[in-house]
Amino acid sequence: MHPNTLREKLYGVIAFPVTPFTDNLALDLPGLHHNLTKLIEHPVSAVVAAGGTGEMYSLTPSEYSRVIELTAHAIEDRIPVIAGVGFGQRLAIEMAQAAEKAGADGLLLFPPYYPQAEEDGLFEYYRSIAAATSLGVVIYSRDWATFTPSMVERLTAIPTLVAWKDGHGDIRRLQAIMNRVGERLQWIGGAGDDMVAAYYSIGIRAFTSSIATVAPRLSLKLHELGEAGENEALAELLDRCVVPLYAIRARRKGYEVSTMKAMMDMIGLNAGPVRPPLVNVTPEEEDELRTILATWEKFL
């Protein structure tokens, strides 16, 4: 897929599928295929394979390639498949090339392993990964990878950079970046489904959704209300269905994955446990998640 084509398709809900595992923590590829088949019954705009929700950091290189390949096969060119890449420069380049060979349509570039990198080093990290394939790339600003507006403007010199995914939720900083860079990039809200109202209030019309792995209709409804400017209805839906989930997700590191996997198992999809160092939710929290699922009934 040409980078410009990828950019045009990044609108609305971008789903973040989990990577399902068996009870002994092996890849559950049939389960992944089933999940994806159910997901693409709904009009999401793209999927991110082996991203953060997909436990990219827990996968071996061979597992990573298999996940991307199976995802591309299941999607069958209906929507773009974006592959997560990261770690260090050399490994990220190898991952990018493996993803392209496996059928990915774009790349989501995670921060490098080193948290105090200089801007020149960060620029070279992103530039070299992007240059390693013909795919369009999205930079994922999260964790220690924070950027000034001038640095984001510098990164737009990368010709295949098509979009920016915010993972911090700092609306003031993001708005300053958007004002500086303008329409050169597609802007994606990526700090959580609970921030759709905030993102859409500054003109963003795309967000990455882990909720879409469980209830795509709920994610699509958030986009529909945000796009239409129905702020009261959006706020009510967020307060009733989304904010309670995010309160649980905030309790422990990695719960953004663990909670979604637990909910998927509850409704008959395939998820299984998380791999260490992530931890699974407790039995008591499973009961809380079932209560939340009851409020999602019309969206399941």
Active site residues: 140, 165
Q: Is the dihedral of CA 84, 89, 91, 93 positive or negative?
A: positive
CA-to-CA separations, 248 to 87, 259, 264, 286, in angstroms, rounded: 28, 8, 16, 10
Measure the CA–CA gap between 267 and 127, rounded to whole angstroms: 42
Residue 187, strand partner residues? 164
Q: What is the 3-state secondary structure (H, E, C) of the chain?
A: CCHHHHHHHCCEEEECCCCCECCCCCECHHHHHHHHHHHCCCCCCEEEECCCCCCHHHCCHHHHHHHHHHHHHHHCCCCCEEEEEEECHHHHHHHHHHHHHHCCCEEEEEEECCCCCCHHHHHHHHHHHHHCCCCEEEEEECCCCCCCHHHHHHHCCCCCEEEEEECCCCHHHHHHHHHHHHHHCEEEECCCHHHHHHHHHCCCCEEEECHHHCCHHHHHHHHHHHHHCCHHHHHHHHHHHHHHHHHHHCCCCCHHHHHHHHHHHHCCCCCCCCCCCCCCCCHHHHHHHHHHHHHCHHHC
Residues composing the chain: 300
